[in-house]
């Protein structure tokens, strides 16, 4: 079984633009020409949304939606800290959800789910719930998760799955990647160092090569760990 139950074949009008400054950063990114840079500061090969009939709508980067995979569990565990008893390098993820089709306005009360593997590459299954959780966006479209940097497994680039559900009927699923240089440093630390890490955790994954430029988080040091901010726009 592949890690994602279905290959990422459907393209949706999903804007995914990184920015630690929230909506202001997204607006600035959208104002750029087609081929604007993604979260990793690399050129994005994804197509862009066309302008609105009035010509005032900014061009926005499109991303490939990824399958939820066999590990997604709709637990609705509303919590910010999803670490539980898992050891690893601390990681804080600040997300902002905006409506790209409505002037990049914040989306309030959207459920945001994230889930990922622990330092050994294992997901919680059955009755376990570690490294899974849900947050509901506030009036500014923001949510925050505290977790750890995920480990590697199955020849895939380390990643965090996420799903945005603005209502009970719709949802968008994708995944975030990590800069490879940061992963190499993290995997030299315990408990990751208990396994021999791949020399190039990302380059071996075709999914990363396809969408990593737009979906790689820009990490900055934060105490003993890291943090990143990302603005997720939905159409």
CATH architecture of 11-234: Sandwich (2.60)
Cβ atoms of 233 and 105 closer than 8 Å: no
- Domain boundaries along the sequence of the chain: 11-234
Phi (first) and psi of residue 73, to 5 degrees: -125, 120
Cβ atoms of 86 and 131 closer than 8 Å: yes
Residue 65 has a pLDDT of 65
Residue 2 has a pLDDT of 36
CA distance 209 to 212: 6
Residue 134's pLDDT band, with cuts at 50, 70 and 90, is very high
65-94, pLDDT tens digit by residue?
676 766 677 777 899 999 999 999 999 999
Residue 74 has a pLDDT of 76
| Total residues belonging to the chain | 235
pLDDT at 20 over 90: no
Q: What's the helix, strand, coil split of the chain in %, to 5? A: 15, 30, 55
Q: Which of the pair, 168 or 29, is modelled with greater confidence?
A: 168
pLDDT at 197 over 90: yes
Give every strand in the sheet of 132-136, ordered side by side.
132-136, 111-115, 159-165, 172-177
Q: What average pLDDT score do residues 136-144 get?
A: 96
Residue 99's pLDDT band, with cuts at 50, 70 and 90, is confident
pTM: 0.75
Region of residue 171 (left: phi > 0; alpha: psi -120 to 50; beta: else): beta
50-64, 100-114, 215-229: least confident range: 50-64
For the purposes of burial, counting CB atoms within 10 Å of the CB of 15, is it exposed (0-12), middle (13-18) or buried (19 or more)? buried
Q: Which of the pair, 194 or 7, is modelled with greater confidence?
A: 194
């Amino acid at each position: 079984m592949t890690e994602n139950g279905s290959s990422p074949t459907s393209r949706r009008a999903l804007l995914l633009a990184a920015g630690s400054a929230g909506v202001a950063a997204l607006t600035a990114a959208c104002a750029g020409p087609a081929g604007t840079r993604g979260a990793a500061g690399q050129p994005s090969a994804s197509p862009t949304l066309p302008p609105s009939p009035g010509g005032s709508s900014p061009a926005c980067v499109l991303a490939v939606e990824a399958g939820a995979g066999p590990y997604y569990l709709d637990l609705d565990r509303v919590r910010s800290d999803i670490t539980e008893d898992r050891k690893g390098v601390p990681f804080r993820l600040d997300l902002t959800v905006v409506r790209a089709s409505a002037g990049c306005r914040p989306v309030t009360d959207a459920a945001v789910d994230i889930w990922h593997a622990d330092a050994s590459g294992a997901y919680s299954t059955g009755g376990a719930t570690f490294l899974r959780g849900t947050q509901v966006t506030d009036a500014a479209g923001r949510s925050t998760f505290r977790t750890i940097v995920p480990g590697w497994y199955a020849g895939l680039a380390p990643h965090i799955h996420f799903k945005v559900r603005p209502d009970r009927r719709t949802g968008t699923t994708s995944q975030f990647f990590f800069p490879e240089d940061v992963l190499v440093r993290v995997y030299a630390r315990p408990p990751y160092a208990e396994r021999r890490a791949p020399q190039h955790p990302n380059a071996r994954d075709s999914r990363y090569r396809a969408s990593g430029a737009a979906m790689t988080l820009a990490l900055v040091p934060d105490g003993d760990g890291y943090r990143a901010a990302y603005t997720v726009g939905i159409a």
